[in-house]
Homo-oligomer: A and B are copies of this chain.
Amino acid sequence: MLKFKILKQSNKSNGSDHCRARLGTIATDHGVIDTPIFMPVGTLGSVKAVSVEELDNCKAQIILGNTYHLYLRPGCDVIEHMDGLHEFIRWNKPMLTDSGGFQFFSLAKLAKFSDEGVAFQSHIDGSRHMFSPEKAVEIQMILGSDIMMSLDWCIGYPADEKQTMEALNKTTLWAKRGFDFWQEKGAVNNLFGIVQGGMYKHLRTLSAEQLTQIDFPGFAIGGLSVGEPKEFMYEMACHTLPLLPANKPRYIMGVGTPEDLVELVGMGCDMFDCVMPSRNARNGQLFTSKGTINIPNAKFRFDKGPIDTDCNCYTCQNYSRSYLRHLYKSRELLAYRLNTIHNIYYYLDLMEKMRDAIKQDRFLEFKREFYSKRQK
């Protein structure tokens, strides 16, 4: 069972800037992770383009798997036969799986939501399936993730209050049923609840109140990064994070840019996941301490330097921007790997730097430095 320990809690203010960042650890059956943490996304049982050893070298402590995707491919029968997802993909550190809620919103065809759960058609072959809150937990137990997520109804932006309320109510109902099922089964995997409520503060409050009555070992904020303006995302996160129990991990799902991570850690968020570092890498966009660069840009044609002189990743230690540009322009498979290694390292190194700053009680200074480098 999960154990969350807070090692340091910041409560500093500096002008208009507040810091509620906190440093902690989450102990799971597959090891201990340091928070705040970023979780690279391994949708289909592989963080696209990189190996588990490379993830290790990028300082990855926990990765995410997608229940919806893995349920469809390779299927639970395969993963069960292969003794769970950890064994199947050869990742022996902690793993979190989402519930499928986000994919019903973003990917599945004709998803129909009812008290019972979600009926949907596969985005691959149109085949019909049904996820109940119990089934979402059951599948994740087969996957064997260390942290499972409760089935939720994630709605897009914009959504009116009525729609948002309906999604919220179902999410709460499903959370209770999923939790009861999990308790009955006595599963060793942990289960987190997901707060919804769209872009309405009072509905976020309501959702948080309802969800936190259930004794989940951790809570997530879902339904952000669904197309809303950035200020709304920050406003909802800032409003909702303090409503979640201080003694349990807080996870904001599907967010975000390096700037988002810095802002949200400052608001007291402990866990993040996002496809951005890996997806952008495959599109040639690389993160650096001075901002993002587009590697296909002609100005890198003769550039002997690394992506980021401040970076200690394998790619920056070995390869020039010129070579990376060439690989990318030539669509060589190695391009996607080398770019992904860099971007994931950048994200995880950023998290480590934030943890160090919190430890030394200098998070606001860190934040100032972070932004000042980017303005150069």
Asked if A82 and B323 sit within 8 Å, CB to CB, the answer is yes
Chain B nearest CB from A279 CB (Å) reads 12
Stretch of A14-22, A41-49, A135-143 on the interface side: A41-49
Number of copies: 2
Chain B nearest CB from A51 CB (Å) reads 7
Interface size class of A (residues with CB under 8 A): 20 to 34
Stretch of A214-222, A327-335, A350-358 on the interface side: A327-335
Asked if A302 and B81 sit within 8 Å, CB to CB, the answer is yes
Chain B nearest CB from A43 CB (Å) reads 9
Chain B nearest CB from A323 CB (Å) reads 6
Asked if A327 and B82 sit within 8 Å, CB to CB, the answer is no
Q: Which of B45, B320, B325, B334 contacts A46 (CB 8 A)?
A: B334
A74: Cβ under 8 A from any B Cβ: yes
Asked if A326 and B49 sit within 8 Å, CB to CB, the answer is no
Asked if B333 and A336 sit within 8 Å, CB to CB, the answer is yes
Asked if A45 and B333 sit within 8 Å, CB to CB, the answer is no
A301: Cβ under 8 A from any B Cβ: yes
Interface string of A164-176 (1 = CB under 8 A from B): 0000000000000
CA distance A304 to B326 in the complex (A): 38
Q: Which of B50, B73, B319, B326 contacts A326 (CB 8 A)?
A: B73
Q: Which of B45, B330, B336 contacts A73 (CB 8 A)?
A: B330
Residues of chain B lying within 8 A (CB to CB) of residue A319: 90
Nearest B residue to A51, CB-CB: B334
Q: Which of B48, B88, B326 contacts A45 (CB 8 A)?
A: B326
Asked if A78 and B334 sit within 8 Å, CB to CB, the answer is no
Asked if B301 and A48 sit within 8 Å, CB to CB, the answer is no
Residues of chain B lying within 8 A (CB to CB) of residue A88: 320, 322-323, 326
CA distance A50 to B90 in the complex (A): 19
A318: Cβ under 8 A from any B Cβ: yes
A89: Cβ under 8 A from any B Cβ: yes
Q: Which of B78, B318, B327 contacts A302 (CB 8 A)?
A: B78
Asked if A329 and B73 sit within 8 Å, CB to CB, the answer is yes
Residues 300 to 319 of chain A near chain B (Cβ within 8 Å): 301-302, 304, 318-319
10 examples of A-B residue contacts, CB within 8 angstroms: A45-B326, A45-B332, A46-B332, A50-B334, A73-B330, A74-B301, A81-B304, A82-B320, A90-B319, A337-B337
User: Besides the contacts A51-B337, A333-B336, what 18 more A-B pairs have beta carbons closer than 8 Å?
Assistant: A44-B326, A44-B327, A44-B332, A46-B327, A49-B333, A73-B329, A74-B322, A74-B330, A77-B302, A78-B301, A78-B302, A81-B304, A82-B322, A88-B320, A88-B326, A89-B323, A333-B337, A337-B337
A residues sitting closer than 8 Å to B (CB atoms) are 44-46, 48-51, 73-74, 77-78, 81-82, 88-90, 301-302, 304, 318-320, 322-323, 325-327, 329-330, 332-334, 336-337
Closest 7 CB pairs of A and B: A74-B326, A49-B333, A46-B334, A46-B332, A44-B330, A81-B302, A73-B330
